[in-house]
Amino acid sequence: MEERKRSDQSNPYPSHGSGMESAQVRGKVGDTLEGTIAFRVVVALRDDIVSMALKPGDVISESDIAGRYGVSRQPVREAFIRLAQQGLLLIRPKRATVVKKISPDGVRQSRFIRESIEVEIIRRVASRPGTEAAEVLAKLILDQEAASAANDSRRFHKLDELFHRTLARLAGVEYAWQLIDDHKMQLDRVRYLTLGVSSSQRAIAEHKQIAEAVARADVAGAEAAMRAHLGRAEVLLNQTIEDFPDYFE
Contact residues toward its own copies (CB under 8 A) are 8-17, 31-33, 35-36, 77-78, 81-82, 84-87, 90-93, 100, 103, 105-107, 109-110, 112-113, 115-117, 119-120, 173, 175-176, 179, 182-183, 186
From DNA, its own copies, none, interface partner of 72 (C-beta below 5 to 8 A by class)? DNA
In this chain, which of 64, 143, 145, 212 binds DNA, going by CB under 7 A?
64
Of the candidates 242, 106, 102, 114, which has an alpha carbon nearest to the alpha carbon of residue 177?
114
Find which of DNA, its own copies, none residue 61 binds, CB within 5 to 8 Å per kind.
Answer: DNA
Q: For residue 19, which of 182, 248, 230 has the smallest C-alpha distance?
A: 182
92 near DNA, judged by CB under 7 A: yes
Closest residue by Cα to residue 56 from 104, 23, 11: 104
Residues 96-115 that bind DNA (CB under 7 A): 96-97
Partner touching 63 among its own copies, DNA, none, CB below 5 to 8 Å by kind:
DNA
State the Cα–Cα distance between residues 57 and 247, nearest whole angstrom. Answer: 7
Among 14, 27, 95, 242, binds DNA (CB under 7 A): 95
